[in-house]
Amino acid sequence: MKVIVILGQVLDPAGIVVKGKAGRIFVNREKYVLQPADRCALEAALRIEEAEVVALPRGPLPDDDVLRQALATGADRAIYLTGDGFEEADDAATTGVLRAAMERLEGADLVLTGATTLDAGQGQLGPRLAEALGWRQIVGAWQAEVSDGKVQAILRQEDEYVTVETALPAVVTMRPGALKPRYPDGVRLINVYKDVGEIAEALEQWDVTELVDEESLRPLLERRGKDFPPERERGTRADGAPAEMAQTAADALRQRLGM
């Protein structure tokens, strides 16, 4: 079976400081990492036995690093998508590109990607793609396994975990932190970054203008400015003996809950 994983990158949170007051994000070290939820999707894909895993980018990427990472970690093939007009693509435009890319790949049985992005909190790419393909979808899975032409996933609903199942083909989006991702393999890593050996041929570059027309690359999303969420109210501090502190806390809770 063929599994598509869609991967994006994000500024390493360890290298940035968000300052609400200044209304800015300070980038101390400009380093990008694989989106954590997408990394779980890759792990879920690699755990499927005898699957051909093909990595595609989650929209326009400045370089092919996450795709090389995917190959180093065990993906069989990766396609870097670039081209005029793709730089501004949003999730809507990307959906069309991915669908066209999958057509050129002669279809697939399963698409795995992250349920949310770490920076923009976007979770729409998976569902959009499922709609565009007319496939079933499972959103926000903690685990995804394939057997007998079906995909089984674990979801959290309210206070419990439930197992859901759907027939393939399907789109499944994975929660960040759902699975412990494996490390890349040393030899694959060196070869894919050095562009030597068989693995170097597994990375291809496709021009999106050959896949879709100019019109469908136009983003639906328009950026009108940026703002930080309003600062949160400070909590109240309880002082005194434990009994007094408990009373203060209980009163505050009662008030909050309107009891």
Residues that bind another protein (CB under 8 A): 65, 68-69, 72, 183-187, 189-191, 193-194
How far is residue 218's CA from residue 178's CA, in Å, rounded to a whole number?
Answer: 33
Q: Which is nearer to another protein, 26 or 228 (CB)?
A: 26
**Least separation, in Å, of the C-beta of 125 and another protein?**
25
One-letter amino acid of 19: K
How far is residue 186's CA from residue 148's CA, in Å, rounded to a whole number?
Answer: 33
**Least separation, in Å, of the C-beta of 198 and another protein?**
12
**Least separation, in Å, of the C-beta of 249 and another protein?**
28
**Least separation, in Å, of the C-beta of 7 and another protein?**
15
Q: Which is nearer to another protein, 147 or 205 (CB)?
A: 205
Nearest to 202 by CA among 96, 100, 64: 64
How many CB atoms are located within 10 Å of the residue 160 CB? Answer: 7
Nearest to 171 by CA among 59, 44, 52: 44
DSSP string across 109-169:
SEEEEESS-TTT----HHHHHHHHHT-EEEEEESEEEEETTEEEEEEEETTEEEEEEEESS
How far is residue 143's CA from residue 140's CA, in Å, rounded to a whole number?
Answer: 9
Q: Which is nearer to another protein, 122 or 191 (CB)?
A: 191
**Least separation, in Å, of the C-beta of 120 and another protein?**
23
Q: Which is nearer to another protein, 182 or 254 (CB)?
A: 182
Q: Which is nearer to another protein, 2 or 39 (CB)?
A: 39
